[in-house]
Amino acid sequence: MTGPLVLYEVKDKIAFITLNRPEKRNALNSAILAELAAAWKRYEKDKEAWVAILSGAGKGFSSGMDQVDRDIDRRAYLEATRANGTTVFKPIVGAVHGWALGTGYSLAVKACDLTIASEETQFGYPEVKVGNAGIVPYVPYMHFKRNLEFMLTGIWIDAQKAYEWGMVNKVVPQGKHMEEAIKWAEILKKNAPLTLRAIKYGQYKGVGGLARTLDAEAEWEFEHFTVPQTESEDRKEAIQAFREKREPRFKGR
Which positions are catalytic? 127
- Find residue 11's DSSP bridge partners: 14
Distances (CA, A) of 123 to 118, 128, 204, 215, 219: 11, 14, 23, 29, 29
> 52: helix, coil or strand?
strand
- Measured distance CA(175)–CA(119) in Å, rounded: 9
Q: In sequence order, which ranges of 85-140 are alpha helices (DSSP H)?
A: 103-105, 127-130
Query: What is the number of other CB atoms lying within 10 angstroms of the CB of residue 112?
Result: 25
Query: What is the number of other CB atoms lying within 10 angstroms of the CB of residue 212?
Result: 18
The pairing of strands 99-101 and 51-56 is: unpaired
Contact 63, 99 (CB under 8 A): yes
Contact 159, 117 (CB under 8 A): yes
